Structure 1
Amino acid sequence: MAVTLGPEDLTRLMDEVFPQVSKGFVIEEVTRTGVRVRLVTTDEHLRPGGTISGPSMFALADVGVYLAILARLGPVTLAVTTSSSMDFMRKPEAGRDLIADVTLLKLGRILAVGDVLIRSEGREEVVARATMTYSIPPR
């Protein structure tokens, strides 16, 4: 499926519909199969032990899949997460942003499924992997 919204369009849309969320995320790339999104990490994302918190990584995965769907379908802002699974594999490095590479595995009329690999900026090792399923509202 062709890309409908690019990074600038998605950023504007997120600022309009989710201003409380959009501040910490940077949409770096939109491709035919997914998106790359950066979580700009700050002290608010840290947990004891000097690592990025699980809820912060979950938010990155969830926002990433949402953006990948919107990039294909346009502003279907009422799409919602219906299922998720996340594996935390290694400690992300504090002081480095997190990068999520999102691939849409399925984009149907009713459901979308995305796979997310999260890495610390500048590192090859995956720190977390998520699968998210979204419900697409009737258009």
Structure 2
Amino acid sequence: MKVTFEELNRFLQDQFPQGAAYGSLQKLGDGWAEMTLDVDDGHLRPGGTVSGPVMMGLADVTVYAALLSKIGLVPLAVTTNLNINFLRKPQAHTPIRAKATMLKVGRTMGVGEVFVYSEGVDEPVAHSTMTYSIPPEKYQN
């Protein structure tokens, strides 16, 4: 692992403070991460369900954390593709959690997947795959 939980958490707070709106880092391992978002009224869409963009944001930041666990603190690693399938309605006013795993990390790109769960429900509410572009070393600082 190229970065500790504490280092990544500090990096996210310092370099990506808007990321807190998408969830908080709970666990980190070599090529995987888990985040949680406390759902409130601002995260709901009409019909009383968590909005798609909220789940996509949580999924994206969770894969970013999993990627950085493999490559280190590279701020300019960016999402180039995100596919998401919404599988079932999440519980309103219940935290959602995401579990991301990197499937492949190369020199110039990383591919990961993430499952999003509504707390207390065993089946995922969404599944996403995404690709990140990793900048050349000369642009990594």
Measured against the shorter chain, the TM-score band is over 0.9
More displaced stretch, 111-120 vs 37-46: 37-46
More displaced stretch, 40-49 vs 22-31: 22-31
Amino acid at match of 1:118: V
SS at match of 1:41: coil
- What are the Cα deviations for residues 34-72 of structure 1, in whole angstroms up to 9, with x where unaligned? 111111222110111111000000001110111111122
Q: How far apart in 1 are the matches of 2:120 and 2:9? A: 23
Q: How far apart in 1 are the matches of 2:121 and 2:5? A: 23
Match of 2:72 in 1: 74
More displaced stretch, 64-73 vs 22-31: 22-31
Determine which of 115, 118, 132 is the counterpart of 2:116.
118
Say how many residue pairs are matched: 137
SS at match of 1:126: coil
- Return the offset for 1:33: 3.2
Amino acid at match of 1:122: G
Structure 1 runs of 4+ aligned residues shifted over 3 Å read: none
TM-score, normalised to structure 2's length? 0.92
Match of 2:2 in 1: 4
Match of 1:61 in 2: 59
Flag structure 1 segments of 5+ consecutive residues without an equivalent. none
Q: How far apart in 2 are the matches of 1:30 and 1:121? A: 19
Q: How far apart in 1 are the matches of 2:128 and 2:21? A: 22
1:41-56 alignment, distance < 5 Å: 41-56=39-54
Determine which of 2, 13, 16 is the counterpart of 1:15.
13
Flag structure 2 segments of 5+ consecutive residues without an equivalent. none
Give the root-mean-square deviation of aligned CA atoms: 1.1
- What are the Cα deviations for residues 78-119 of structure 1, in whole angstroms up to 9, with x where unaligned? 001111110001000011111101010001000100000000
Q: How far apart in 1 are the matches of 2:118 and 2:54? A: 13
1:73-112 alignment, distance < 5 Å: 73-112=71-110
- Return the offset for 1:26: 1.6
Amino acid at match of 1:94: A
